[in-house]
Amino acid sequence: MPRVALQQLELEVARLETPTPPKRESRRRRDEDGTPAERLALSPDEASAVLGVSRDYFDEHVLDELRVVRRGRRILVALAELERWLDRSATRATVGRT
């Protein structure tokens, strides 16, 4: 039997870097100069915060008077609709006057 020469193998240990996922392009609306555009609609939570009332108060006293967009379980309240509601609901203050 022929003798086989044994060769010693050298192993090099290299650190593997964790791959970073590619950055997704934002789907948010942007103006022509690339800055984020103003939002056109809000969720009910955001709309109640903008009005300065609790979500419970918003649901009970405001939501029924607004035109909203419903898609599945999602509800959107247009900013213009909130402004319209405020304008229609506004009255002159008479508190403390006799």
In this predicted model, what pLDDT tens digit does every residue of 20-78 receive, in sequence order? 776 665 556 666 776 666 889 999 999 999 999 999 999 999 999 999 999 999 999 99
Where do the domains of the chain lie?
42-89
pLDDT of res. 39: 87
Give the predicted TM-score (pTM) of the model. 0.58
pLDDT of res. 45: 96
45/58 Cα distance (integer angstroms): 9
Question: Is residue 15 pLDDT above 80, yes or no?
Answer: no
